[in-house]
Amino acid sequence: MSRPQALDDGTMQSVSPVTAPVLAVKDFSLTFKAGAETNLVESVSFSVSPGKTLCIVGESGCGKSVTSLALMGLLPSPPARIVSGTAEFNGRNLFAMPERARADLRGNEMAMIFQEPMTSLNPAFTVGQQIAEGIMRHRDVSKGEARAEALKMLEWVRIPAPEKRLDAYPHQLSGGMRQRVMIAMALANRPKLLIADEPTTALDVTIQAQILALVRQIQAETGTAMILITHDLGVVAEVADDVAVMYAGRIVESGPVEAIFGDPQHPYTIGLFGSVPSLGRRQGRLATIKGAVPPLDLMPKGCRFAPRCPLADSRCHDEVPPTVPFGDGHSAACWYAPIEQTMEARQ
């Protein structure tokens, strides 16, 4: 049984090493309960380079949103507590920065779009005021200049009749429009990193496609690095350069999008793709992954997917699997990886 060696530090390289990453997260663990045995997010590592999109995929509750909020510094602490890890943003560790310095970064060099466009805008202020406010916070501009800039942003995110919308209140706009405003607000200071937490989940399908196209286009124009958090594999296929698959607080597989889609190595990833309906004739039933994510206090010592994994043996339950690299940045955290060879060797 031959198996490649795990990386020494257990990290997963998910980007091509050509450009320095904008953000490199290493061994990040987070808990909501002091002294809890298992962490909500456990030893997560990933990085994202300028102009690239990293998709973090996983079902709800797997820790993907929490991770992104922690990176932005938006998690209330307490109860959230970062147990370990670093997040190098342009060479500075976010987790070691004072709150004031992080506030200076937020909405400036790193920005975020949220899942709920209906409730994410303040109902008491006009769209223009809310965009201009972020501009004035980080740039030394007058009110008039900020307003002009806000108008430019609305044009940029292709809102029709932007002059009129500038003085509109959020309740006067549709969900798709509001999400465009959120994007305009996030991009107003040309961030180097944009985190989008399920930006299209709450929108109609047609609007989803428009918003995704817009985000792609803006990214191409600005070279912003993006972390897109989603559970929608269709979105992943459309926009991702790299993918990190999260399960129960851990990254189980990561790599370039082609590798993840073409040659998934982790049983969870394989199961995840099996659960997506595709066009054309279907052979048999749609695959499902048996069981449910175990609650945190019942999390197995070893691989967190073990209770639901068709391949799991006693070692899977007891020992944390190593991260196995396959080259080209593709790696999976599984005792059976690479899966084909292992299965062949067994037979």
Partner 1 sequence: MLKIIARRVFVAIPTLVLVTLIVFGLQKILPGDPLLTMAGEERDPQVLAFLREKYRLDDPFHVQYLAWLGNVLTGDFGNSLRTGVPVSTLIAQKLPVTLQLAVMAIIMAMLIGIPAGIIAAVRKGTVTDYAANAVALSGMSIPNFWLGIILIMIVSVQWRLLPASGYVPLTEDPLQSLRTMLMPSFVLGTALAAYLMRHTRSAMLGVLTSDYIRTARAKGLLPKTVILKHALRNALMPIVTLSTLLFGELLAGAVLTEQVFTIPGFGKLIVDAVFTRDYAVVQGVVLCTAVGFIFMNLIADVLYILINPRLRHPQ
Query: Phi, psi at residue 185, to the nearest 5°?
Result: -65, -45
Given the DSSP bridges, would you call strands 81-89 and 23-31 parallel, antiparallel or unpaired? Answer: antiparallel
Name the residue nearer to partner 1 (CB basis): 112 or 236: 112
Of 66 and 237, the one with the shorter C-beta distance to partner 1 is: 66
Question: In angstroms, rounded to a whole number, what is the distance separating the alpha carbons of residues 12 and 8?
Answer: 10
| CB of 135 or CB of 324, closer to partner 1 | 135
* Residue 18 burial (C-beta neighbours within 10 Å; 0-12, 13-18, 19+): exposed
Nearest-CA neighbor of 184 among 165, 206, 164? 165
Our CB check for partner 1 shows the closer of 92 and 315 to be 92
Contact between 327 and 318 (Cβ < 8 Å): no
Q: What token pair was written down for 268?
A: 């969870």
Residue 101 CB, nearest distance to partner 1 (Å)? 11
Of the candidates 224, 219, 229, the residue with the CA atom closest to the CA atom of residue 59: 229
When the beta carbons of 110 and 243 are compared against partner 1, the nearer one is 110
Q: Please state the closest distance from residue 107 (CB atom) to partner 1, in A.
A: 4
- Closest separation in Å from C-beta 136 to partner 1: 10
Q: Would you call 227 helix, strand, or coil by DSSP?
A: strand
The nearer residue to partner 1, 180 or 308, going by C-beta atoms, is 180
Q: How far is the CB of 106 from partner 1 (least distance, A)?
A: 4
CA 206, CA 156: separation in Å to the nearest integer? 20
From CA 200, how far away is CA 229, in angstroms rounded? 10
Shortest distance, position 94 Cβ to partner 1, whole Å: 13
Beta carbon of residue 149, minimum distance to partner 1 (angstroms, whole number): 14
Residues that bind partner 1 (CB under 8 A): 72, 74, 100, 103-108, 111-112, 114, 116, 119-126, 133-134, 137-138, 169, 171-172, 182, 185-186
The residues facing 225 across adjacent strands are 193
